[in-house]
Structure 1
Amino acid sequence: MKKFIICFILAVFAIPVNANEGMWFLMHIKRLNYVDMQKMGLQLTPEEIYSVNNASLKDAIVQFGGGCTAEIISDKGLVLTNHHCGYGAIAELSTAENDYLTNGFWAKNLKEELKPKSLSVRFFVRMDDVSKRILGRVNDQMTELEREAAINQEISKIEMENNEDGKYTVSVKSFYNGNEFYYFVYQDFNDVRLVGTPPKSIGKFGGDTDNWEWPRHTGDFSLFRVYADKDGNPAEYSEDNVPLKPKYHLTTSLKGFEDNDFAMILGYPGRTNRWMPGAGIEQNVNYAYPAWVEASRTSMNVMEKYMKKDQQVNLDYASSYASIANYWKNRQGMIDALKQHETAQTKYKDEESFQEWASKKGNEKYADVMNTINDYYKKTNEISRHNNYLSLLLRTRSAVIPYRLGKELEYYMDQNEAKQAELKPKFEEGIESMYDGLYLPLERDMLAAQLDLYSRKAKNPAPLVAKIAAGNKKGVEGWQSYLETAFKKSIFASKEKLNAFLEKPDAEVLKNDPLYLLSQDLLDRYRYKSEEEKQWDNDFQRAYRLMVQGMRTQNPDKKYYPDANSTLRLTYGKINSLPADKRNDAKENYYTTLKGTVAKYQPGDAEFDMPKKLIDLYEKKDFGQYADKDGYLPVNFLSDNDITGGNSGSPVLNGKGELIGIAFDGNIEAMAGDVIFDDQLQRCINVDIRYVLFLIDKLAGAGHIIDELTLVK
C-alpha cells in the first residue's frame, strides 16, 4: 500500500476465498458477503454500506489525489488520510522559511487553511454491470486490436449516457481480464486545502528502516478539507467557496478494540495480479524487479547527495524520493517473498490442473492457452528488464521535459502569429509548472547515472543512447561530461532559456537541440514495438483472457472477486495478532504503544527523532481521553484485511461502521500478496485513531478540530 502503500496479500491461483480474502464490489456485498460479515461481527445492513438513493458509508470514502484513499470525518468536509498521501502537497506548500513538512502545520481557522496548486478528491456515486452490453459487440473472430476498438466505442457511449452533461466523471473498467465490464460514476472536487499535519518526525517516524516492518510506531496521518460553492457543487478554488456539507461522514470511536474483533476497510486498492501465471512471476523475480531495484537505488543515491546539502532542494524532491524509496524496498521485498514461498511453483501446479481440464472434450478453446502464455514470457524476459531500466530513467524530469515541451513547440511554430499570441500565455504557464522545483545539478547527475546504468544493462537500448555509449569509455563521468555540454547548448536547460527561445523561435535550433534529440530517442524507444512484438501481445492478451475465463468455468461454485484496479472495494477481516515479538513492549503483538515509540527515539536521527513535547507528554502520562482502558496510549495496530497500494489512508471500521484507524502499510513477510494470498502471513498496519486524536489535541493543541468530530466513547 503506500506510497502507494500496500498491505500485500496472497491468494490461490484460481482465487478461492478465505474469510479475510477478497476486494469486493459494494454492489455485491448483499449477495456474496453479508452472511459471512454478520457472523464475524458486522452490525450494519448492506444498504447502510452501499446505497444509491440514501446516504451510506460509501459517501464518506473518497479517492484522494488520484493515488490514495481518504475519508470524510466531519459535517464540514474534513478529510483524513495518510501523511504520506498528503506528502507532496505538504512539501509543495513548504519553504525553507515555513517548513511545514519538517515542523508540522495546524490551521487555527478556515482562513488559515492552505490551498495546494493541484489537489482533488473523488466521490463515488454509483456503479453498474454493463458486461452483456459490451461483450455483445465482440466476437471470437476479432483480433485483440479489433476487439479493443469495438469495446472502446461502446465505452464512449456508456460514459456519455451517464455523465449528466458533464456533472459527473464516468469510467468504464474491465474486470477478470476483459471478461466483465462495469461503469463507475464519480463527482470530483478540486478545491481541497491543508488543515493540519504532524511534523515529519511523527508522520514518517521510522523512515525507510521501518517501512514495511512490524512493530511500527508511525503517526501516518494528515488532515485536509473539501470546499464547494455556496450550493454544495464542485468549484475551482475561490475565496467565496465554503466547506462542503457531505452526504455522510464517519463517526469516530474512542472505545478501542480487542484481538479478533471485526474490522472492515473501504478504499481504492491500486493494482493486484492474482491471476498471474508462474512464468510471469519468474519474469518479475528474475528480470523486471531486479532492474527496478537497481535503477531506483541509482536515483536515490544521487538525490540523497543533493538533498542533504540544501533544505529547499530537500523539500522540492521529498515526495519524489519517498515514492522511489518506497517502491525500491517493495520490489526487493517482493523478490525475496516470491522466492522464499516458491510462489511460481505453486502457480505451475495449478496450471497443470487447469491444463488437464482444458485437454478434455468440450474444453478445446482453452487447450493451447498455457502454451501461448508461457511462450510469451520466454520471448519477453529481456524486454521486461529493458523496460524497467528505461521506466526509471524516464522518471528523471530532464529526460522527459524536452520531449513534452518540444512537441508543443513544434505545434506552436506551425501556427500563424495570431494563434501563437493566443497560445503563448498557456505555454509560458506550462513552462513555469514543469520547471518549478527543478534543481539542475541534481537533474543532470541523476540523468547521467541512469543513462550509464541503462546503456550498460539493457539489451537493445535506444539508438542514440547506444551510439553515445559506444564512444564513452569513462562510464558515469563520460555521461556527465556529455550532458554538461548538452545542457550548455540546449534551450531546455532552464525556463529562462526556453522563454527566450519562445520570443524568437527557430525550427532548426529545436530540431538539433541535444536534449530534445536525447529525450525524443528515449521516448520513441519506450513506445516502440516491432510487428512481431505486437503479434506476441495480441496472442498473449487473448490467451490470458481465456485463461481467466476457463479457470472460472472450471470452478463455477467458487466466489470470485476481481483484481484491484483503483475502483472502490470493501475488504473485511479481523484485528489479528502476529506471534510474540520481543521488539514490541505491548502485552499482545497486535498493537504498539507510545512507550515503544519513545524507546526508538534517537536524538537528531533523520528517521527516529521526535518532538520533545511528545516525550514530555509520555513521561507525564498525559494521554487524556485517548488512553486505552489499560492505561497505555495505543499507536499502531494490525488487522488481516486484504488491501494493496492505493488503500493508503483507507478507514478501518468496526462492526458498527465507526472509525477505529487508518490503514497505511503492510508487513514485509507478505510482500508476495500482489499475486498470491496467505492468510497466515498477511497483515495490514494501521494508525490507531486514538493516537491520531491525541496528537491533534495534546501535541498540536488543535482542540477545535476535535470539536468538529462525531465521537463515540
Structure 2
Amino acid sequence: MKRIFLLLTFMMSFLQVKADEGMWLMMLVKRLNGQDLQKKGLKLTPEEIYSVNNSSLKDAIVQFGGGCTAEMVSKEGLLFTNHHCGYGNIAALSTPERDHLTNGFWAMKKSEELPAKGLSVRFLVRMDDVTQRINAKLNNTMSAKERRDIIAEEYKAIEKENSENGKYVVTVRDFYNGNEFYYFVYQDYKDVRLVGTPPNSIGKFGGDTDNWEWPRHTGDFSVFRVYADQNGNPAEYSPNNVPLKPKHHLPISLKSFKPGDFAMIMGYPGRTNRYLTSYGIDQMVNKDYPGWVAASKSAMDVMKSYMDQDQATKLNYASQYASVANYWKNRAGTIESVNKNGTIQDKQKLEESFQKWASKPENQELYGNVLADIKNYYRTTSARGVERNYAAQMTRNSKYLSYAAGLGSMFKTYMAETDAAKKAELKKTISSRIDAMYEKFNPALEQEMLKTMVQLYRDKVRNEAASPYLQTVNPQLLGDVAKNSIFASAATAKAFLNNPDAAKLNTDALLKLATGYNADAKALSDKYVAYDDQFSNSNRLYFDGLRKSHPNQEFYPDANSTMRVTFGKIATLPVRADRDYHGVKNNFYTDIDGMVAKYKKGDEEFDLPQRLIDLAKARDYGQYADAAGYLPVNFLSDNDITGGNSGSPIMNGNGELIGLAFDGNSEALSGDIVFEEEWQKTINVDARFVLWVIDKFSGAGHLLNEMTLVK
C-alpha cells in the first residue's frame, strides 16, 4: 500500500515539475512545484517513466561498467554508450595486430561479437524510501560511532530483506548529507560483448584539446550487447548464452529539433557537492585541486613518454591515460571557473542567511555553531586534504605500490598454508592473479611512475600530514628498488611463487615501501577520525537547517551514482569571439562540415578517416540528414548532469532517443559545486550521426534492423 500511495502522490505532482536545475530521484520529483512539463513538451506519464510493475523508461537505462551510463536500443540486448566509456574495454580487446581502438571494429554477425572481460551492466529493479525507518532509531545526542553502527545494522537488514537470497544486489544510500535514506534493488548482467566501435579518430576526435569545449565534433559512441542465460537471467560468459530481451528499449528518433524543444536525460551521475560550504570550496580550489592537477600532469607525462615509443604500451595504457587526462582538465577548469564565476562569494551569501536563522534563540542550541565547526574542520585538516590528493594520484597511477601490497599478502597466506590440497589450489589462484595483473604492464614505465609520484608527494605534502615512511626514502632510487623486487614483473613474481622464501619476502624493499606507506595511511586516517565524525555531524545539521530556514525552496539530493532524471531543453551557448564555429550560425549544433574543417592529416587529435571525408564531400547523408540539409554531429542542451552521466540517453518528450550525453562545457566546470544557470550545458552526440557512422561509414547497417527508428 505504501508504494501505491507514493506512486499516486508522484503522479499527481509530476506534471508540475520545474524544468531546470537538479538531478532528481524518481521518488523525489513529487516534491517539486512549478511549471507544467507537458506544456514544455513532455508527452509521457510518470508510469511510463518509472514503474515497478510495468515496463518503463527506467528499464532501458543501465549503469555501464560502474562508472558510466548506457541505454538499451533493441529488443535483442543492443546498447549504446559513449566511446570513452567503452574505451578501456576496446583497448583491452585490441592488440597491435588487431587494433580495434585505432581502426574501429564491427561484428557483422553475433558470433563475431567480442566478450568484454570483466564488464557488467546494472539494471534498476526498484527503489524505496527507508528514511522514517532509520531516523526513528537515531537522535542528535548519540555519538558518531553509535550513529554509524545503527545505520550499518539497518543497511544490512534492508539488504537481506530485499535481495531474495542473492538474486538481486541491494544497496542503501544516504541523501541530503545523511538526513534521508533510500534503498535500491539491482540486477547485474555480466556477459557483455563489444558489437562495434568507430575508429579512435571519430570516437575521440578533438582529443584533449577539445575536451570540455564547445563547439565539439566527436562521434563519442560505442555499441555493446548484453547476454543472458536461456531464461533471461544474469549469467557468466558462455557461448550458450543468448541476447537479453530487455523489458524496454528506446526508439531512436530521426526527426529534427530546435532550441527550446523539450529534452530529458536519465542516467547514473557520479557525484556532486552542491551543498558544499564556502570553506570547503576554498579548500578544494586553492589547496586540493592544485595538488590533483600537478600530480595528474606528472603521471600523464610519464605515461606518454613510453606510449609514444611503443604501440602495445599505447594500447595498454590508453584507458588509464584518458581517464587521468579527463580529470586533469576538469580539475584545472573547475579552479578557473569557480574563481571566474564568484562561486565562493555566492556561497558566503547563503551562509550569512543561514547564520541569521541559526542564531535565533529557538535554533541556536542545535544549529548556532554549525558553520563555525565546519570552518574549523577545514582549517584543522587542510594539510591532510592536500595529502589525500597527492596520495590518491600516487596510489592510482603507480601500480607497484598496490601490486606489492596485494601479492605480498597473498604470498604470506600461501606460505602459511599447511594443507597440501588447499596450498595447491591457492597457488593456482595466485598464479592466475599474477597473469591478470601483469598482462598489460610495462615495468620501465611503472618504475619511472613510482619514482615520479613519490618524489612529488615528498615535495608537496607538509610534514605533519605526510607518511613518515615515505619521508625516509630516496625517490630517485625507487626505480632500482622496483626493478630488483620480487614484484618487478610477472616472471619474478611467479619465480617467487614457485620457490617461496620468507626471508626474501620480508626484506623486499618494494614490499616494505608499500606496507610502510599503507600503515602510515591508516594511522593518518585514525588520527583524523574524530574530526571527520564531527564534520559529518555538522554537515548533516547544516543541510537540515538549510532546508528548514528556506521552507519554500525545494532541495534536490546531490548525485551519488544512483539513477536520476533531469529535465531541460535544447539550448544554445553565447557565441565566443575566440572560437571558430565553422559556418554554423545557430549555436546549438555542429555538423560534419565543421568536423572536416578541423581535419589535420596525421594529427593525433584531429585526423580523420579518408572514407568519412569522401562521404562528407559527396553529401552522402542518407536518411540521417537534418531537415535543413546538414548532417548533425553534436548538439547542446541545458540538462543538469555530471560525471557518470556519460553515455546517458537524451530523449525528446516521447521518450525517443535523440542523442548520447558525453560532456559539459568549460564555462561551467564549477557545475559540480553550483549550478551555473546561464552557462551550464550538456554536450551530446546526435543519434542521427551515430546511425550514419554505423550504417553509411561502417557498413554495419544490419544492426539498424533490430532498432526502432522513428522518422
TM above 0.5, one fold? yes
1:671 Cα deviation from its structure 2 partner: 0.4
Q: Which secondary structure state, in structure 2, belongs to the residue aligned with residue 535 of structure 1?
A: helix
Q: Which secondary structure state, in structure 2, belongs to the residue aligned with residue 674 of structure 1?
A: coil
1:489 Cα deviation from its structure 2 partner: 3.2
1:513 corresponds to 2:483: no
1:429 corresponds to 2:432: yes
Change (3 A) 1:509 1:34: farther
Matched with 1:42 is 42
Matched with 1:709 is 707
Matched with 1:574 is 569
Provide the rounded CA distance (Å) in 2 between the counterparts of 1:366 and 1:141.
14
Q: Which secondary structure state, in structure 2, belongs to the residue aligned with residue 673 of structure 1?
A: coil
Q: What is the one-letter code of the residue matched to 1:462?
A: S
Maintained 8 Å contact 1:29/1:46: no
Q: What is the one-letter code of the residue matched to 1:342?
A: G
Matched with 1:360 is 360
Task: Please show how residues 490-509 of structure 1 align to structure 2 within 5 Å.
Answer: 490-509=485-504
TM-score by length of 1: 0.95
Maintained 8 Å contact 2:395/2:401: yes
TM-score by length of 2: 0.95
1:589 Cα deviation from its structure 2 partner: 0.2
Provide the rounded CA distance (Å) in 2 between the counterparts of 1:284 and 1:249.
41
Matched with 2:14 is none
Which of 604, 608, 611 aligns to 1:610? It is: 608
Which of 669, 682, 685 aligns to 1:684? It is: 682
Task: Please show how residues 403-442 of structure 1 align to structure 2 within 5 Å.
Answer: 403-418=405-420, 419-442=422-445
1:530 Cα deviation from its structure 2 partner: 6.4
Deviations 1:93-143 (A, max 9, x none): 000000000000000000000012110000001000001111122222222
Provide the rounded CA distance (Å) in 2 between the counterparts of 1:673 and 1:618.
35
Q: What is the one-letter code of the residue matched to 2:608?
A: M
Provide the rounded CA distance (Å) in 1 between the counterparts of 2:91 and 2:208.
18
Matched with 1:583 is 580
1:523 Cα deviation from its structure 2 partner: 2.2
Provide the rounded CA distance (Å) in 2 between the counterparts of 1:384 and 1:28.
33
Matched with 1:316 is 316
Q: Which has the higher contact order (CA 8 A, sep 6+)?
A: 1
Provide the rounded CA distance (Å) in 2 between the counterparts of 1:412 and 1:147.
39
1:707 Cα deviation from its structure 2 partner: 1.3
Task: Please show how residues 524-539 of structure 1 align to structure 2 within 5 Å.
Answer: 524-529=519-524, 533-539=528-534
1:349 Cα deviation from its structure 2 partner: 1.5
Task: Please show how residues 133-152 of structure 1 align to structure 2 within 5 Å.
Answer: 133-152=133-152
1:595 corresponds to 2:598: no
Provide the rounded CA distance (Å) in 1 between the counterparts of 2:417 and 2:411.
10
Provide the rounded CA distance (Å) in 1 between the counterparts of 2:521 and 2:658.
45
Matched with 2:9 is none
1:507 Cα deviation from its structure 2 partner: 2.1
Maintained 8 Å contact 2:274/2:673: yes
Matched with 1:385 is 386
Matched with 1:332 is 332
Matched with 1:465 is 470
Provide the rounded CA distance (Å) in 2 between the counterparts of 1:503 and 1:488.
19
Matched with 2:549 is 554
Deviations 1:606-648 (A, max 9, x none): 0000000000001100000000111110000000000000000
Provide the rounded CA distance (Å) in 2 between the counterparts of 1:310 and 1:202.
22
Deviations 1:236-266 (A, max 9, x none): 0000000001100000000021111000000
Q: Which runs of 5+ in 1 are unaligned?
A: 1-16, 470-478
Provide the rounded CA distance (Å) in 1 between the counterparts of 2:411 and 2:40.
60
Matched with 2:173 is 173
1:486 corresponds to 2:481: yes
1:183 Cα deviation from its structure 2 partner: 0.3
Q: Which secondary structure state, in structure 2, belongs to the residue aligned with residue 225 of structure 1?
A: strand
Q: Which secondary structure state, in structure 1, belongs to the residue aligned with residue 524 of structure 2?
A: coil
Q: Which secondary structure state, in structure 2, belongs to the residue aligned with residue 330 of structure 1?
A: helix
1:503 Cα deviation from its structure 2 partner: 2.0
1:212 Cα deviation from its structure 2 partner: 0.1
Deviations 1:344-403 (A, max 9, x none): 121111111111100102112001100100000011111111111111110111121101
Provide the rounded CA distance (Å) in 2 between the counterparts of 1:535 and 1:629.
62
Matched with 1:116 is 116
Deviations 1:667-687 (A, max 9, x none): 000000111111100000000
Q: What is the one-letter code of the residue matched to 2:512?
A: L
Provide the rounded CA distance (Å) in 2 between the counterparts of 1:391 and 1:541.
21
Provide the rounded CA distance (Å) in 2 between the counterparts of 1:647 and 1:59.
16
1:27 Cα deviation from its structure 2 partner: 2.4
Q: Which secondary structure state, in structure 2, belongs to the residue aligned with residue 54 of structure 1?
A: coil
Matched with 1:351 is 351
Matched with 1:153 is 153
Task: Please show how residues 76-475 of structure 1 align to structure 2 within 5 Å.
Answer: 76-364=76-364, 365-395=366-396, 396-418=398-420, 419-460=422-463, 461-469=466-474
Provide the rounded CA distance (Å) in 1 between the counterparts of 2:163 and 2:471.
48
Deviations 1:508-565 (A, max 9, x none): 2211111101111222233333665222112111111100011011112221210000
Provide the rounded CA distance (Å) in 1 between the counterparts of 2:530 and 2:166.
38
Provide the rounded CA distance (Å) in 1 between the counterparts of 2:515 and 2:526.
21
Maintained 8 Å contact 1:24/1:570: yes
Change (3 A) 1:530 1:566: closer
Taking only the aligned residue pairs, the percentage that are identical comes to 56
Maintained 8 Å contact 2:289/2:332: yes
Which of 617, 625, 628 aligns to 2:626? It is: 628
Q: Which secondary structure state, in structure 2, belongs to the residue aligned with residue 655 of structure 1?
A: coil
Query: More deviation in 135-144 or 44-53?
Result: 135-144
Provide the rounded CA distance (Å) in 2 between the counterparts of 1:236 and 1:282.
47
Provide the rounded CA distance (Å) in 1 between the counterparts of 2:630 and 2:446.
47
Q: Which secondary structure state, in structure 2, belongs to the residue aligned with residue 571 of structure 1?
A: strand
Deviations 1:121-168 (A, max 9, x none): 000010000011111222222221221111001110000000111110
Change (3 A) 1:488 1:200: closer
Provide the rounded CA distance (Å) in 2 between the counterparts of 1:570 and 1:347.
25
Matched with 1:563 is 558
Provide the rounded CA distance (Å) in 2 between the counterparts of 1:530 and 1:424.
34
Q: What is the one-letter code of the residue matched to 2:627?
A: K
1:488 Cα deviation from its structure 2 partner: 4.1
Provide the rounded CA distance (Å) in 1 between the counterparts of 2:164 and 2:522.
35
Query: More deviation in 174-183 or 130-139?
Result: 130-139
Q: Which secondary structure state, in structure 1, belongs to the residue aligned with residue 122 of structure 2?
A: strand
Change (3 A) 1:41 1:560: same
Query: More deviation in 406-415 or 62-71?
Result: 406-415
Matched with 1:651 is 649
1:705 Cα deviation from its structure 2 partner: 0.8
Provide the rounded CA distance (Å) in 2 between the counterparts of 1:680 and 1:150.
43
Change (3 A) 1:29 1:326: same
Change (3 A) 1:554 1:377: same
Provide the rounded CA distance (Å) in 2 between the counterparts of 1:151 and 1:358.
27
Change (3 A) 1:305 1:253: same
Q: Which secondary structure state, in structure 2, belongs to the residue aligned with residue 47 of structure 1?
A: helix
Which of 658, 661, 667 aligns to 2:659? It is: 661
Provide the rounded CA distance (Å) in 2 between the counterparts of 1:402 and 1:36.
58
1:206 Cα deviation from its structure 2 partner: 0.1
Q: What is the one-letter code of the residue matched to 2:382?
A: N
Matched with 1:473 is none
Which of 634, 638, 641 aligns to 2:639? It is: 641
Maintained 8 Å contact 2:447/2:483: no
Change (3 A) 1:30 1:133: closer
